[in-house]
């Protein structure tokens, strides 16, 4: 990014030399840009580097086709994928898309929430709020499912606590304090309700 800024600055300098001062600035900038760019040998270790080089130096050329693939797209709709799980679709666009994902079919409470959400149009805020709530419920269902199968999930590790402690300790402390305050508030409300 610094090189891009420097190049823009250099272009402006060349367009309007009296605005930026004397020519030594331009020479110094050229020298700095050349000095900071890595040598060609170092760049060649980057995967995909040099895709715009001469065809004789490009390893993918024997595999490339002329004319390129996918120029003549088949006419008409793609073949409809077989529906083996429940697939939700918007009430504004009846029918399912030709291709859809089947890895996570709706189930349990989160599936019921999603079913309700897809009865509402997409411009209704409740549709999106219910989908967000279903995602949160699905996370809890995943933990319950892990426990049911005898797998103890590492919730703190999956939340990235160690990385957060290492790279953002202030944010981790803030989150811990907010969580403690919320849990304390809920417990205080429950105790207060039990007294009455």
The pTM (predicted TM-score) of the whole model is 0.49
Q: Rounded mean pLDDT of 125-137?
A: 95
Amino acid 14: pLDDT: 54
Listed in sequence order, the residues at least 6 apart from 26 whose beta carbon sits closer than 8 Å to its beta carbon are 10, 13, 14, 17
Extract long-range pairs of 131-134: CB within 8 Å, 24+ residues apart: 134/110
- Note the pLDDT of residue 13: 54
User: Over the stretch 76-108, which tens digit does the pLDDT of each residue have?
Assistant: 677 888 889 999 988 888 788 888 888 888 999
Distance CA 104, CA 87 (A): 10
Task: Give the pLDDT confidence score for residue 125 in this predicted structure.
Answer: 94
142 vs 136: CA distance, rounded Å: 10
Tell me the C-alpha distance between 188 and 194, whole Å: 10
């Amino acid at each position: 990014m610094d090189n891009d800024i420097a190049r823009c600055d250099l272009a402006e300098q060349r367009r309007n030399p009296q605005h930026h001062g004397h020519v030594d600035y331009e020479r110094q900038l050229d020298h700095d840009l050349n000095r900071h760019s890595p040598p060609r040998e170092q760049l060649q270790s980057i995967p995909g580097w040099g895709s715009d080089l001469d065809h004789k130096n490009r390893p993918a050329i024997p595999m490339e086709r002329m004319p390129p693939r996918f120029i003549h797209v088949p006419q008409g709709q793609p073949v409809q994928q077989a529906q083996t799980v429940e697939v939700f679709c918007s009430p504004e666009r009846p029918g399912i898309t030709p291709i859809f994902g089947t890895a996570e079919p709706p189930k349990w409470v989160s599936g019921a929430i999603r079913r309700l959400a897809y009865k509402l149009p997409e411009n209704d805020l409740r549709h999106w709020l219910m989908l967000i709530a279903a995602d949160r419920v699905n996370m809890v269902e995943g933990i319950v499912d892990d426990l049911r199968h005898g797998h103890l999930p590492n919730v703190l590790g999956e939340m990235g606590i160690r990385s957060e402690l290492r790279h953002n300790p202030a944010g981790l402390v803030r989150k811990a304090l907010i969580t403690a305050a919320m849990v304390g508030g809920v417990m205080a409300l429950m105790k207060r309700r039990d007294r009455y």
